[in-house]
Amino acid sequence: MQKESAIREPLILGDKTYHQITEDVCAPVEGKANKYWYIVFTIAVVVALWGVGCILYTIGRGIGTWGLNTTVAWAWDITNFVWWVGIGHAGTLISAVLLLFRQKWRMAINRSAEAMTIFAVMMAALFPGIHMGRIWMAYWVFPLPNQFGSLWVNFNSPLLWDVFAISTYFSVSLVFWYIGLIPDFATIRDRAVKPVSKMAYSILSFGWTGNAKAWIRFEEVSLVLAGLATPLVFSVHSIVSMDFATSVIPGWHTTIFPPYFVAGAIFSGFAMVQTLLLIARKVLNLESYITIKHCEYMNIVIVITGSMVGVAYLSELFISWYSGVEYEGYAFMNRATGPFWWAYWSMMSCNVIIPQLFWFKKIRRSLIASFVLSIFVNIGMWFERFVIIVTSLHRDYIPSNWGMFHPTFVDIGIFVGTIGIFFVLFLLYSRFFPVLALNELKSILKSSGDNYKKLHHND
Amino acid sequence: MTKAIYALYDDDEVMVDGAKAILAKNVRIKDVYSPFPIHGLENVLGIKWTRLAINAFLYGLTALCLALFGMSFFMIQDWPMNIGGKPNFDLYQNLPAFIPITFEFTVLCAAHGMAITYLIRNWTLPGVKARNPHPRTTDDHFAIEINWEENSGVSSDDIKSILQDTKPVEIFEK
């Protein structure tokens, strides 16, 4: 059996056994939800319904209901799209990249992070869909035979690359997540007492048996899917950034975009995982599994990627001056001092300055500070996309074309609504799905569990 | 007559030691059921490693060829488009623009092909009945399955006493 250094902090606290892990993780699924769950769920449903209403209004009346104009033809919709896709990046990064690096701390957070990924990508995909205006023709983005029109889709366009990237990312993440869930659904199935839940989890667990060969295949599939998903994580946000970078708009036309977007995506994704899990560990009594050490690890990722984003901002500023292109130079001056200066400085302070507090160990290990800072990052990353998109578009080449963007209630309603839909999905997930990867946690109990580590230390 | 006898353990190390002891007595083990993957068990039981990764590679390779063939047909043969005067009349010149979709499609097919093969090979599909011998083998117990037919050379009493020596928490037939 693998032994771990005694000075490494345990990943599972308390006197846990295999059975206790099952009990702790199944408790939220088998028990009744408390009143806080119902309160939050009700709020989320109301907000979600408001968003659905705004979406239906948009579909019925057209995108003239948004604040877009001929100068700023992309604004909140694409900001929200990039924001949600970025959030979606942490899940696959945690489950795939950290699996390849054999990071055991991922096991307590990967299930929820992947669920977050899937729900976030669903929210993201909604925006290009409704921005088409005629959403019932959305399938035209796929390369369909010519009876739908005499042209094929344009395979040279980053927008089509994005269609492929997002749909591949969504479906591969979903499969990766579900394959990990099958054995854990089987655990719930074998414990279920009520006939309805027994039947439901029997179907969900696909008749999982857990024999030796099945586990070998399981490990191989996990490893290969992780290997396939890792370049996918980096490609998806690179391609999203190319939606902008391949254009000729000042402020967009830069080669730094792909790595800068990927770092930003990981940054915002980890912040959202932090926000969700700090609540989940408390509400679902999972403090022994999602420990302060886990939060610290995530905070380290946040401060590193946040600093990378900071370096990217400064490089952009430097290059806009050093290139000598007056349009580029103006675009960045306008970001910092123009009519949207407040968005730029919100972005700078939330993304670059505030996360630097995580260099202090005390703050990194404080749950309240982690929560507050993660909210700042979520806000800051939304502003980053808003700044990139709106401030670059609203004043480009000819001053007579300049304009402003003001969101309407529909813009705001749809954005807030997607947060509602996201939370509805996540709250339902936390009630009916095992929120921790049971089988993976059990496999590290003897090497990283608190009680076992003490036992080995005394040997 | 039952088909098989099972020994149930509450610890993975005891079970692995038990499996080694059983095999040393020339009793064949049909299968082992556990709540999580046990590393090194395949060497003890002599199970060959899965070839699923080769499958994934082949699916990926097929997808790679299909994507390149498809795009060169759509964009170069069937309806060549002049987009911003960029070269678009042979695959070689257009290749850089085709890389992202080629990559995505390769990953898409490799991942889904492998997942589908995995589900079929394990026979874990919606509506399939679970075949684990004891409900706690998905919780905290480990079971060794010994088939009577495979061990016709050893008497059933001998098998039972061999199993008893491996310190199981329970022995049952099914």
Q: In this predicted model, what pLDDT tens digit does every residue of B62-99 receive, in sequence order?
A: 999 999 998 888 888 888 777 777 766 778 888 888 99
CA distance A128 to A198: 39
What pLDDT is stored for residue A42 in this prediction?
94
The mean pLDDT value for A411-431 works out to: 93
Q: Long-range contact list for A174-178, CB < 8 A, 24+ apart? A: A174/A118, A175/A225, A175/B111, A175/B112, A175/B115, A176/A92, A176/A95, A176/A96, A176/A114, A176/A222, A176/A225, A176/A226, A176/A229, A176/B111, A177/A91, A177/A95, A177/A111, A177/A114, A177/A115, A177/A117, A177/A118
Put simply, the chain A residues between 208 and 237 with a CB less than 8 A from any chain B CB are 208-221, 223-225, 228-229, 231-232, 235
What pLDDT is stored for residue B169 in this prediction?
87
Q: Residue B28, by phi and psi: left (phi above 0), alpha (psi -120 to 50) or beta?
A: beta
Distance of alpha carbon B151 from the chain centroid: 26
* Distant-in-sequence, close-in-space partners of A311: CB < 8 Å, separation ≥ 6: none
Domains in chain A, number: 1
H/E element, B153:
none
Instruction: Tell me, yes or no, if the pTM score tops 0.80.
Output: yes
Of all residues in chain B, the percent with pLDDT exceeding 90 is: 24
Q: Do B56 and A22 touch (CB under 8 A)?
A: no
Instruction: Find the CB nearest B108 among A171, A217, A239.
Output: A171
Asked which of A236-240, A320-324, B21-25 is least confident by mean pLDDT, the reply is B21-25
CA distance A304 to A302: 6
Give the chain B residue nearest A174 (alpha carbons): B112
Residue A9 included in any domain: no
Between A31 and A113, residue with greater pLDDT: A113
Position B116 pLDDT exceeds 90: yes
Q: Do B108 and A215 touch (CB under 8 A)?
A: no
Instruction: Find the CB nearest B103 among A187, A217, A235.
Output: A235
Instruction: Find the CB nearest B35 among A167, A210, A239.
Output: A210
Alpha carbon separation from A176 to A6, B53, B57 (Å, rounded)? 33, 15, 17
* Residue A237 one-letter amino acid: H
Position A371 pLDDT exceeds 90: yes
A-B contacts (CB, under 8 Å): 207
Q: Do A209 and B81 touch (CB under 8 A)?
A: no
What pLDDT is stored for residue A411 in this prediction?
93
Tell me the pLDDT of chain B averaged across its residues: 87
Residue A2 included in any domain: no
Residue A43 included in any domain: yes
What pLDDT is stored for residue A390 in this prediction?
92
Nearest to A289 by CA among A98, A93, A25, A34: A25
What pLDDT is stored for residue A148 in this prediction?
64
Other Cβ atoms within 10 Å of A209 Cβ, number: 24
Alpha carbon separation from A40 to A37, A47, A234, A365, A424 (Å, rounded)? 5, 11, 34, 27, 9
A22 to chain B, any CB pair closer than 8 A? The answer is yes
Position A1 pLDDT exceeds 60: no
Residue A170 included in any domain: yes
Residue A126 included in any domain: yes
Q: Do A220 and B49 touch (CB under 8 A)?
A: yes
Tell me the pLDDT of chain A averaged across its residues: 89
Instruction: Find the CB nearest B35 among A18, A172, A213.
Output: A18
The mean pLDDT value for B51-56 works out to: 92
pLDDT tier for residue B21 given thresholds of 50, 70 and 90? confident
Residue A128 included in any domain: yes
Q: Do B139 and A176 touch (CB under 8 A)?
A: no
Please tell me the number of Cα atoms within 13 Å of A131 on its side-chain side: 19
Give the chain B residue nearest A145 (alpha carbons): B74
CA distance A238 to A165: 10
Residue A103 included in any domain: yes
Residue A458 included in any domain: no
Supply the range of the domain harboring residue A188: 18-144+152-450
Token couple for A447:
């090497």
- Read off the CATH number of the domain in which A115 is found: 1.20.1630.10
Per-residue pLDDT tens digits for A216-265 = 999 999 999 999 999 998 999 999 999 999 888 888 988 899 999 999 99
What pLDDT is stored for residue A147 in this prediction?
65
Per-residue pLDDT tens digits for A170-201 = 999 999 999 999 999 999 998 888 899 889 99
Of all residues in chain B, the percent with pLDDT exceeding 70 is: 98
Q: Do A186 and B130 touch (CB under 8 A)?
A: yes
Q: Do B35 and A438 touch (CB under 8 A)?
A: yes
Alpha carbon separation from A32 to A37, A191, A193, A432, B44 (Å, rounded)? 10, 16, 14, 11, 43
Position A428 pLDDT exceeds 80: yes
The mean pLDDT value for A141-164 works out to: 80
Position A154 pLDDT exceeds 90: no
